[in-house]
Structure 1
Amino acid sequence: MISATRIIRRNALNGGEIVDRIVLDHGDRHRRRMAMQGVGGLAFLLDLAEPTVLDDGDALMLEDGRLIWVEAAPEMLLEIRAGSDHALKRLIWHIGNRHIPAEITADAVYIANDHVLADMVRGLGGSAEPVQRPFRPEGGAYAGGHGHNAGHSHGHAHGHGHHDHSHD
């Protein structure tokens, strides 16, 4: 089976023969080694040096130089909004205390669909509506990946020391 051993980030992609594409959710875009099959049927082994987050629009380079396009699959998420910029910042602070992956846009925050967090957001005066869209969470200051959107969902690489907020 042919292997994909390199990632070409979308901002560095300039040409190359794209022969297939893979559509992966957020969890499946954080991998090191995994057998994969493209939408067009091309089977290959993802074989990277270390676990890495594949971003929407990246490409995987096969051993023979051909490319596999990476697409973020639509997922069920919560779209969180607030009545003002300040109110949205306050909600972001509360969500951040939960240490969960979050995608922050200019006027909304997206997190995995979770009824407990939806109730918390509504209790704080925000809106939390289920939506289906690709999930592109922030990388986080401690995620590694050389500053590139490396996911924070697979544990913490930093110590918290003592803190007294609840994670329930």
Structure 2
Amino acid sequence: MRVEAILPAGSWDAAREIDQVLIDYDRRFRRRIVLTTVRGTDILVDEPHAVRLRDGDGLLLPAGVVRVRAQAEDLIEIHAHQDTDLVRIAWHLGNRHLPVQLLGNRIRIRADHVIQDMVVGLGGHVDRVMAPFDPEAGAYAAGHHHHHHDHDDHGH
């Protein structure tokens, strides 16, 4: 079954949800991928360009919407006693172009012992957690709102 459109999180009616798909961070950035839903249905995402699927996005099918869920992964959750330490840590993570998930006074990153040692050296405290990873899209990431349609419909 082919996905007709990718609906950004919050833009679609949850009452239309017919299934879910659990996907880890690495597999959520693709142009073309076959996904198996929780109920065992194979669905095809086939976009002209690679897209980043986010937690809560909807994959529109003729019968309804399949909700994208970020799968739990091995992560490091960072916090600090001083705000300045957390800001410094965030700067260093960004300087390394690492994907980060910002959670108020905490930061989540993918587990990496070298980065963990750096964070501790900068005054951070770390906890290993198994949790969904849905990092920031980044300053240069375009919002995604994909519909498969013909431009002739718009007089282009």
TM-score (norm 1): 0.80
- Residue of structure 2 in register with 1:26 after alignment: 25
Q: What do the CA deviations read for 1:73-117 (whole angstroms, capped 9, x no partner)? A: 111100111111111101111111111101112111111000001
* AA partner of residue 36 (structure 2): Q
Q: Tell me which residue corresponds to 1:73.
A: 71
- Give the CA deviation at 1:65: 4.6
Match in the other structure for 2:147: none
Q: Distance in 1 between matches of 2:87 and 2:16?
A: 43
Give the CA deviation at 1:58: 1.3
Q: Secondary structure at the match of 2:4?
A: strand
What code does the residue aligned with 1:11 have? Answer: G
**Are the equivalent residues in 2 in contact too, given 1:3–1:45 (CA < 8 A)?**
yes
Q: Structure 1: how far apart are the matches of 2:66 and 2:99? A: 26
Matched residues in 1 for 2:53 and 2:99: separation? 15
Go from structure 1 to structure 2 and tell me whether the alpha carbon gap of 1:15 and 1:124 turns closer, same or farther (over 3 Å shift): closer
**Structure 2 residue identity aligned to 1:45:** L
Counterparts of 2:29 and 2:137 in 1: how far apart (Å)? Answer: 11
Aligned residue in 1 for 2:121: 123
1:153 equivalent in structure 2 = none
2:83 aligns with 85
**How many residue pairs were aligned?**
144
CA displacement at 1:13 relative to structure 2: 0.7
Question: Percent identity at matched positions?
Answer: 38
Change (3 A) 1:123 1:101: same
Q: Any residues of structure 2 matched to 1:25-104 within 5 Å, and which?
A: 25-62=24-61, 64-104=62-102
Q: Measure how far apart 1:10 and its partner are.
A: 2.0
Q: Look up the SS of the partner of 1:92 in the other structure.
A: helix
- Conservation of the 8 A alpha-carbon contact between 1:82 and 1:88: yes
Distance in 2, matches of 1:74 and 1:114, equals: 16
Looking at secondary structure, tell me which structure has more strand per residue: 2
Name the SS of the counterpart of 2:81 in structure 1: coil
AA aligned to 2:45 is: L
After superposition, the C-alpha distances for 1:17-67 in whole angstroms (9 at most, x for unaligned) are: 3222100011111122111111101112111232111111111012x2521
Matching residue of 2:139: 141
The runs of at least 4 aligned residues of structure 1 exceeding 4 Å deviation read none
